Amino acid sequence: MTDTESDLLARIRVHGAVPRHIAIIMDGNGRWARERHMPRPFGHRSGMKAVRAVVEGCLEAGVEWLSLFAFSQENWQRPETEVSALMSLLEEFIAREATDLARQGVCVHVHGDLERLSPAAASAVQRVRRETAGGDRLGLNLFISYGGRAELVRAARLLALDVQRGKLLPEQIDEVHFREKLFTAGCPDPDLLIRTSGEQRLSNFLLWQVAYAELYISSVLWPDFDRAALYEAICDFQRRDRRFGRVTT
């Protein structure tokens, strides 16, 4: 850990109000590669280092949950070579990191339309889920082939099935029942949503869950996002006044 990272972590611990759940839209891999006159998959590969740095940073800071937007449903429309490279990177990341994640107490959950994954990628997902199932220090949500609107439609369909089967009356449906049908059931909503690369949009990520999240836009491109950048975001979060619609007196 660098001196800068140590200083920022010390500030975080002094202030105490660490977000329980951080969600990150990992953006900027392509731009990072383009600036270096390299193909986009080079940027995606470099972004793997940032994932490790953020996971380790969350463990050090005492964050309980980390959600990473790795691959959207819309990303399937990208060139086949890029999609193939991303799937290969997913397999490589899991092969390289699963054992270490388990050792560090990280429990990995993978969410999204996983039926679209290749057999090799699907097998890798099952492996990391199995090998990290006992982790109790950090819950790591990886969102792959995911879309926020699709998740809400899925939840509505599951509730409709419950009504059809007589398990639930329409007038009984409330936020609690709806939340139970989301991928993140049992996980607290994000307190802090970070987006890298300077873009200022949600990109169809966790539309229900980030309703009251604090937003933090970082100009850093994802491959350059390190522990210091994460800690700066947490320090900014600690300065926020979270009222949830209420007025302080």
The catalytic site residues sit at: 27, 75
Contact 7, 51 (CB under 8 A): no
**Would you call 54 exposed, middle or buried from its count of C-beta atoms within 10 A (0-12, 13-18, 19+)?**
buried
CB atoms within 10 A of CB 128: 25
The single residue listed with the structure tokens 């270096």 is 36
Sorted by sequence, the CB contacts under 8 Å of residue 27 that are 6+ apart come out as 195, 196, 197, 199, 203, 221, 222
CA-CA distance, 97 to 90, in Å (whole number)? Answer: 10
